[in-house]
Chains A and B, each alone.
Chain A
Amino acid sequence: MVLAVPVTVPYARHSTKPAQWWAARALKALADGAGMSHRDFDGLSVSSFSLAPDSTVGLTQHFGLSPRYIEFLPLGGVSGVAALRRAARAVQAGDAGVVACIGADGNAPQSFRRSLENFSRASQDAVYPYGAGGPNVSFALIAQAFMADTGLTRADIGRLAVAQRANAGLNPEALLRAPLTLDAYLGARPIAPPIHLFDCVMPCAGAEGFLVMREEAAKAQGLPFVRLAGSIERYNAFPEDPVMLRGGWARDVDVLWSQAGMGPQDMDLVQTYDDYPFVSAMQFADLGFCARGDLKDFLAARDFTVAGDLPHNTSGGQLSVGQAGCAGGFIGLVEAIRQLTGVAGARQVAEAKRALVSGFGMIVFDRGLSSAAVVLEAA
């Protein structure tokens, strides 16, 4: 199974357009990029938090498709990997030939707050009424425990945010491109300590997408593609942990690397789910790049910029490009396809052959419930 045609509909901080509009733009970009009519996509997978009252089924008529496979995956940070895994199985089983996978969300000035109020029942009953801090407060409680456990300081974690901002400087479509120094990171306004301003993503509107098909189909269409080498997905991995010091990757990491026949040392670039940089640090440990106890040294030793020895979130990631709802679950995947097909422009990582992309999300109560990861290989 292969992935092709990475598309990003340039993000906007706020938009008057609904998720349906963003999904339509992504679908058009996929059709244009593939040199096909969108009517020839016989699979459609959509991830969105703000598509209500629609789901994917309504979009088929709206967009004039007649697919034989559809999927609606409003799974936040694992949307992209989950869409890929399901689409690949559908293509493998013959249920679809070409699946368009799209993550799209709108963002009006007050829509983020409204989505917080309605994010989950557990949040409505038992989180949001406690200070209404949204994910910042929930992740602050996790970050504090994680930093106490690992000995990481804000300065250690800040290296990731600073490197991503440097990468974003090479991405004309990133919403936040002004250079960020470690001092500026450390001196930023507290939001919910230890979370400060530059630990937070900026909610925005946008869409991402890619196509999943057989290798022969991509070749027949003349499309550059990347191969799916391995993938994992897990929900509520460690229900007995009193506080989230690890994600579900820790449970499935061996499966991932053995499927791929590779290891962390083979990765030319890594795209983690960066809703907060400390969560990226957690992924490095859980996905086998270093032991959790060694994170401090690992973060100090590696260069995470595009030109560095471990390019990470090379587009700038959500921290610098913006978090467009469920598209945030696609951003790393789409960027990895771009990098491995050599179309990343100024931020192209040299000799990029293999990439790890991880997803994470859905803090419905006190921890992120979803974890996923995928290893991709250039053709």
Chain B
Amino acid sequence: MTRKKSNPLLRTRRPLLPPGARSRSAHLLTAAAARGDFVLPCCAGCGRFLWPMAEGCPACLSEVGVKAAPQGARVISATTAEVPAAPYFRERAPWRVGLVQMEAGPQAVVHLHPAAQAGDKVVLRLVLDRAGQAVLNAGPEGGEMSDPQWQAMVADPRDRRVLITDARHVCALPLAQGLAKAGAVTIHCGLPEAWKPFPGRAALQAVPGVRIVPLDVISDRSVADAATDMAGRVEIVVNTADLPRPGGLLGPVAQVEARAMAETVQMGLLRLARAFGPALAGRGADGDKGGVAWVNVLSVFARAHPPGWAGYAAAHAAALALSHALRADLAAGGVRLVTVLTGPTEDGWFQTVDPPKVTARALADAILKALTNGLEEVAVGDVAKDLLARLEENPKAVERELAQGGLTG
């Protein structure tokens, strides 16, 4: 717990970004890096791996896609950029760069761990940099956490202050415990409707660094008050506000419940974004431990909409759409927006849904992993992964299957 107090007399460094222009095809790598997958460009014809992304294979001129690839490499040569051209790197110089021979075949220029020298074996990772673009990072096996350049790309909670917007969410307790273990200094946990009983209070308060604060995302006033108190003093926001209510479109209370869910999930995110977003983005370069990430914990029903969860799915779909707008706004400060799409959780409101369901611990672990590994898109649980895979394969089939009673509400 060693967060340095900032000196109020010093100017807060304004956020700069590394070069962010990429070819359209290179975003196949962005998609993989967002999920934490390691892929390389690969020829569809002869199967050889290529680097950088190409529109035609130099060996056979076939089309090029991406494919999972071995992550090993050897350093051919290494240098430090002492006088970079782009201001982002200039204020972070010297920046270590290497040329590596990949086990997969091609050579690549990489961000290089400070300890790696010419001739060393390294492991490659695809990670999103502060511009949100995929880059190759190379270092000794397991050495990424000791690499300041890696740390500049991921959203490590260590020495940072976190806001969990809804302490009543099923994952709030294990998430707070995990964040504390990962070195977060302060964990603000928003408590809506504080007059209601909160059985988890004692356990949550026992977590080092936890501070339970009033925050009700359905109230403009409450969100504004919380932002006044905290917006300039949190580096990670995890929005857990949710209101799962099963039911189809034609049920007796569907309209009332849909409005309530929209108020919490969609409008709640909007209020939080407007209140906390600007301060977070503006502090994206506030020291080494400045504003770094915003996590939206959403239901996978945001993407695949079971008719039995009509209002719930609509609220989450709306929140997902808003979160794309928020991602673009936060990107100006180099702050990452992480979308966590979870399957139904072990939670009374998903009582009627068949297992497997996502435990609170699994959801918390996925959020923590997303932060420490710098991910942007996370699917949690088998149901979410299966739904997303099926959507990618054949969205019309998913629609029909859900209409025939999959994931009943």
Interface residues of A (CB under 8 A from B): 112-113, 116-117, 121-122, 124-134, 136-138, 140-142, 144-145, 148, 189-195, 239, 242-243, 365-366
A244 → chain B closest CB, angstroms = 10
In the complex, chain B residues whose CB is within 8 Å of the CB of A141: 76-79, 97-99, 109
Residues of A within 8 A of B352 (CB): none
**Complex alpha-carbon distance, A121 and B41, angstroms:** 15
Most buried by A among B86, B109, B118, B129: B109
Pair A133/B78 contact, Cβ less than 8 Å: no
B134 CB, min distance to chain A CBs, angstroms: 9
Provide the residues of chain B in CB contact with A365, threshold 8 Å: 52, 109
Q: Are B118 and A132 in contact (CB under 8 A)?
A: no
Minimum Cβ distance to chain B for residue A333 (Å): 29
User: Is the CB–CB distance between B83 and A129 below 8 Å?
Assistant: no
Q: Could you tell me if A124 and B22 are in contact, using CB atoms closer than 8 angstroms?
A: yes
Question: Which residues of A lie under 8 Å from residue B136 when comparing CB positions?
Answer: 130
Question: B22 touching A130 by the CB < 8 A rule?
Answer: no
B198 close to A (CB within 8 Å): no
CB-CB under 8 A from A142, the residues of chain B are 77, 99
In the complex, what distance in Å separates the CA atom of A266 from the CA atom of B21? 49
Complex Cα distance, B131 from A148, in Å, reads 35
Chain B residue with Cβ nearest A133: B81
Q: Within the complex, what minimum Cβ distance (angstroms) separates A47 from chain B?
A: 23
Evaluate contact between B79 and A117: CB separation under 8 angstroms. Answer: no
What does the 1/0 interface line of B92-106 toward A look like (CB < 8 Å)?
000111110100000
A261: shortest Cβ distance to chain B, in Å?
Answer: 36
Contact of B86 with A125 in the complex, beta carbons under 8 Å: no
Expressed in whole angstroms, the minimum distance between the Cβ of A89 and any Cβ of chain B is 28
Our pick among B26, B84, B129 for the contact of A133 (Cβ within 8 Å) is B84
Point out the residues of chain B lying under 8 angstroms from A113, CB to CB: 85-86
Q: Pick from B22, B76, B129, B136 the residue with the most CB of A within 10 Å.
A: B76
Residues of B within 8 A of A126 (CB): 26, 51-53, 108-109
Q: Which 4 A-B pairs have the closest CB atoms?
A: A126-B52, A132-B86, A133-B81, A131-B81
**Contact call B76/A145, Cβ cutoff below 8 A:** yes
Task: Give the docked Cα–Cα distance between A118 and B400 (Å).
Answer: 47
Given contacts A131-B89, A132-B84, A192-B81, contact A144 B118 (CB under 8 A): yes
Name the B residues within 8 Å of A116 (CB-CB): 85
Residues of B within 8 A of A112 (CB): 85
Task: Report the bound CA distance from A189 to B76 in whole Å.
Answer: 24
Residue B82 interfacial (CB < 8 Å): yes
Interfacial chain A residues near B109, Cβ < 8 Å: 126-127, 130, 137-138, 141, 365-366
**Nearest CB in chain A to that of B29: its residue:** A125
List 20 A–B pairs whose Cβ atoms lie within 8 Å, in order of A's numbering.
A117-B21, A125-B26, A125-B53, A126-B108, A130-B111, A130-B136, A131-B95, A132-B85, A133-B83, A141-B79, A141-B98, A141-B99, A141-B109, A144-B77, A191-B83, A192-B82, A192-B97, A242-B101, A243-B77, A243-B107
B135 within 8 Å of A (CB atoms): yes
Q: B19 an interface residue at 8 Å Cβ cutoff? A: yes
Residue B2 at the chain A interface, CB threshold 8 Å: no
Nearest-neighbour CB distance to chain B for A143, whole angstroms, equals: 8
Partner of B79, one of A121, A137, A242, A243: A137
A235 to chain B, nearest CB (A): 13
**Nearest CB to that of B137 among chain A residues?**
A130
Checking B23, B79, B83 against A144 with a beta-carbon cut-off of 8 angstroms, the contacting residue is: B79
Most buried by B among A116, A117, A124, A189: A124
Cα A206 to Cα B107 in complex, Å, equals 36
Instruction: Give complex CA distance A124, B81 in Å.
Output: 17
Neighbouring B residues of A136 by C-beta, 8 Å: 81, 83
Taking a contact as CB atoms under 8 Å apart, the answer to whether B23 and A137 are in contact is no
A133 close to B76 (CB less than 8 A): no
B70 CB-CB contact with A under 8 Å: no
Residue in chain B with minimal CB distance to A364: B52
Contact check, B52 vs A192: say whether CB atoms are below 8 A apart.
no
Q: Is B384 an interface residue (CB 8 A)?
A: no
| B76→A243 contact, CB < 8 A | yes
Minimum C-beta distance from A129 to chain B (A): 5
- In the complex, the answer to whether A125 meets B22 with C-beta atoms within 8 Å is yes
Query: Which residue of chain B lies nearest to A190 when distances are taken between CB atoms in the complex?
Result: B82
**What is the chain A residue whose CB lies nearest that of B58?**
A239
Given A131-B84, A136-B83, also A242-B76 (CB < 8 A): yes
Q: Is the CB of B19 within 8 A of A144?
A: no
B97→A137 contact, CB < 8 A: yes
Residues of B within 8 A of A117 (CB): 19, 21
Instruction: Give complex CA distance A129, B21 in Å.
Output: 9
For A121, A126, A365, the residue with the greatest tally of chain B CB atoms inside 10 Å of its CB is A126
State in angstroms the CA–CA spacing of A143 and B369 once bound together: 39
Interface centre among A129, A132, A365, A366 (most CB of B within 10 A): A129
Residues in chain B near residue A195, CB distance under 8 A: 79
When the two chains form their complex, are residues A131 and B97 in contact, meaning their CB atoms are under 8 A apart?
Answer: yes
A139 to B163, CA, bound (A): 46
Residue of B nearest to A113 (CB): B85
Taken residue by residue from 109 to 126, chain B's Cβ proximity to chain A (1 for < 8 Å, 0 otherwise) reads as 111000000100000000
B residues less than 8 Å from A121 (CB atoms): 23, 52
CA distance A138 to B108 in the complex (A): 11
Q: Return B115 CB to nearest CB of chain A, in Å.
A: 16
* A129 neighbours in B (Cβ, 8 Å): 18-20, 129, 131, 133, 135
B80 within 8 A of A: yes
Extra contacts, 17 of them, besides A129-B131, A132-B85 (Cβ < 8 A), are: A112-B85, A116-B85, A125-B26, A126-B53, A128-B86, A129-B135, A130-B111, A130-B135, A132-B18, A133-B81, A134-B84, A145-B77, A148-B118, A189-B82, A192-B83, A193-B80, A239-B58
Quote the shortest CB–CB distance from A192 to chain B (angstroms): 5
Closest partner residue, chain B, to A132 (CB atom)? B86
Q: Which residues of A contact B349 (CB under 8 A)?
A: none
Within 8 A of A (CB), among B133-177: 133, 135-136
Considering the complex, give the chain B residue whose CB is closest to the CB of A241: B107
Are A366 and B131 closer than 8 Å at their CB atoms?
Answer: no
B residues near A133, Cβ cutoff 8 Å: 79, 81, 83-85, 89, 95, 97
Q: How far is the CB of A322 from chain B (nearest CB, A)?
A: 18
Q: How far is the CA of A362 from the CA of B357 in the complex (A)?
A: 55
By the criterion CB–CB under 8 Å, are B81 and A137 in contact? Answer: yes
Given contacts A125-B23, A125-B53, A239-B58, contact A130 B110 (CB under 8 A): yes
Shortest Cβ gap from A238 to chain B (Å): 13
- Report how far A184 CA is from B362 CA in the complex, Å: 61
Known: A242-B101, A366-B99, A366-B107. A128 touches B19 (CB 8 A): yes
Q: In the complex where A130-B110, A242-B107 touch, is A140 in contact with B79 (Cβ < 8 A)?
A: yes
Partner of A124, one of B23, B108, B111: B23
Q: In the complex the two chains form, what is the Cα distance from A195 to B78 in whole Å?
A: 12
B87 CB → nearest A CB, Å = 9
Is B107 within 8 A of A131, CB to CB?
no
Nearest CB on A from B76, distance (A) = 5
Per the bound structure, the CA–CA distance linking A134 and B99 in Å amounts to 14
Within 8 A of A (CB), among B22-74: 22-23, 26, 51-53, 58
CA distance A117 to B98 in the complex (A): 19
